[in-house]
Amino acid sequence: MPHLTAEAANAILLENFAPWVLASGLKVESIAADGASLRIPFSAELCRTGAILCGQALISAADSAMVIALASVSGAFKPCTTVDLTISYMRPISQADALLEAKLMRLGKTLAFCSCAVSEASNGKPVAFATGTYALLD
């Protein structure tokens, strides 16, 4: 059973994330026992030439989604900092929302390891895959 609700996870976003991350429209859609599902709504402000959602928006959303996945498993926001963040882009998203499925892979005493699969909301096709390592600050 999930430790957080989507509403509580969205409150974590509002209380702990930078204003420019919030300006992307990133929202938690659902919480699972091992992670979280988030969405970035399509916005021209997040696009580069050709109405393609920019990679910078995707990687910042993936990083944020993995922190929310860590909060989901922990039952509350865990102060942490990104130690390593890697993303592989597979195809562009054009004029569609992005869905992010973040999962906690391992929670240690000082480090957490997460993954995030990004897909296009309109067709479910994979767009990118990210992994992140987080140093726990508490």
Q: What are the extents of the domains in the chain?
A: 6-136
Q: What is the three-class DSSP state of 97?
A: coil
Q: Per CATH, is 6-136 categorized as 3.20.20.70? A: no
Residue 107 in this model has a pLDDT that exceeds 70: yes
55 phi and psi angles, rounded to 5 deg:
-60, -35
pLDDT digits (tens, 9 = 90+) for 30-56: 999 999 999 999 999 999 998 999 999
Q: What is the pTM of this model?
A: 0.95
pLDDT at position 2:
52
Closest CA to 130 of 118, 138, 120, 112: 118
Q: For residue 20, what are the contacts with CB-CB under 8 A and spacing of at least 6?
A: none
